[in-house]
Amino acid sequence: MDRPRASRLQQGSTRSRGGFLTQWLPYGSTKRKLILWLATPIVCFLAVVLVVDKIVMPIITRHGDEFQLPDFRDLTVDEAKAELAEYDLRYEIASETYSPGKAEGVILNQYPEPGTRVKSGRSIKFVTSLGKKMVAIPNLAGKSVRQAMLDLEANGLTLGDIAWAFSDTIPERVVVFSYPAATTEIPLGAPVNLMVNRGRASSFTYMPDITGMPLSQAKMKLEEKLLKVGVISYRTDENYLPETVLEQSEPEGAELDVNTEIDLVVSATS
């Protein structure tokens, strides 16, 4: 009698039991179950890492959307707003500071710095100018020139020109007034001019510097100081226009009696 043969279904079932690693890890064996139990979580973890790294993170971080940050310095905040909107950037004023050379609202610095690669939606911090700091002129009347200079320095101001007055009632070498006047607000570091009493008006005056002036202007200057023109001599000097004062007989600032005559050397053509 012929031996019964397995049906095709049975044969297929038998063949399907063979597969990759079946020779070393038979189906149903404890070793196969242990390895599959350990390997499955590792494979799943690696798959999740790959998906997050290659798909999710680029979406979240917008990888590839970076651009160089423009330079907003020396623009006003209003001027920078249009460019900020174009790049979809936000801004905040981190601090404000006085800057004598910059108008109020001008951007002095920014963070991140220009050229840094950023993404849209980033907030840019600005340091902006408050413009020139204004300070009030202190009251300097009645103070010595030295004390007035110290007071100006303490208030962030500088000494400008000194003009001399003559008075019999005000102490000598004290400030009569300042100009601009006391309490006037001017930019930090600006000069303040002083009118100072030089002494009694009835006895003496001081020699001005009139070299380089036209002779007509020099005469007027001497008259203002209650001085007179003395001997005028001429000297050829091609470096000056004719009738220009080249020398004066008394040095600038010399204390002189009223009506003292001042000799002059004046330029002449050859």
Check whether residue 125 and residue 144 sit in a common domain.
no
Banded pLDDT at 26 (limits 50, 70, 90): low
Check whether residue 176 and residue 225 sit in a common domain.
no
Class of residue 227 by CB neighbours under 10 A (exposed 0-12, middle 13-18, buried 19+): buried
Q: How high is the pLDDT of residue 13? A: 45
Q: Is residue 41 a part of any domain in this protein?
A: no
Q: Is residue 17 a part of any domain in this protein?
A: no
Q: How high is the pLDDT of residue 1? A: 44
Contacts of the segment 176-183: beta carbons below 8 A, 24+ positions apart: 176/141, 177/140, 177/141, 178/137, 178/140, 178/141, 178/148, 180/137, 181/137, 182/136, 182/137, 182/138, 182/139, 182/140, 182/141, 183/136, 183/137, 183/139
Residues above pLDDT 90, as percent of the chain: 41
Contact status, residue 123 vs residue 130, Cβ threshold 8 Å? no
Give the pairing of strands 185-187 and 228-236. unpaired
Total domain count, the chain: 3
Contact status, residue 94 vs residue 125, Cβ threshold 8 Å? yes
Domain end point (choices 180, 199, 218): 199
Banded pLDDT at 169 (limits 50, 70, 90): confident
Q: Is residue 185 a part of any domain in this protein?
A: yes
Domain end point (choices 182, 199, 216): 199
pLDDT of 8 higher than 70:
no
Domain end point (choices 112, 129, 146): 129
Contact status, residue 270 vs residue 219, Cβ threshold 8 Å? no
Q: Is residue 76 a part of any domain in this protein?
A: yes
Check whether residue 108 and residue 142 sit in a common domain.
no
Q: How high is the pLDDT of residue 54? A: 66
Check whether residue 215 and residue 229 sit in a common domain.
yes
Q: Is residue 263 a part of any domain in this protein?
A: yes
Check whether residue 223 and residue 186 sit in a common domain.
no
Q: Is residue 251 a part of any domain in this protein?
A: yes
Per residue in 56-113, pLDDT tens? 665 555 545 788 999 999 899 999 998 899 889 999 999 988 887 888 889 999 999 9
pLDDT of 24 higher than 70:
no
Check whether residue 73 and residue 111 sit in a common domain.
yes
* CATH classification at residue 102: 3.30.10.20
Q: Is residue 22 a part of any domain in this protein?
A: no
Check whether residue 145 and residue 188 sit in a common domain.
yes
Q: Is residue 13 a part of any domain in this protein?
A: no
Per residue in 127-155, pLDDT tens? 999 888 889 999 999 999 899 999 999 99
Nearest to 166 by CA among 195, 208, 145, 130: 195
pLDDT of 174 higher than 50:
yes
Per residue in 40-53, pLDDT tens? 777 777 777 776 66
Range of the domain at 119: 67-129
Check whether residue 173 and residue 120 sit in a common domain.
no
Kindly state the helix (H) or strand (E) to which residue 14 belongs, with its residue range: helix 8-16
Per residue in 176-194, pLDDT tens? 999 999 999 998 889 999 9
pLDDT of 6 higher than 60:
no
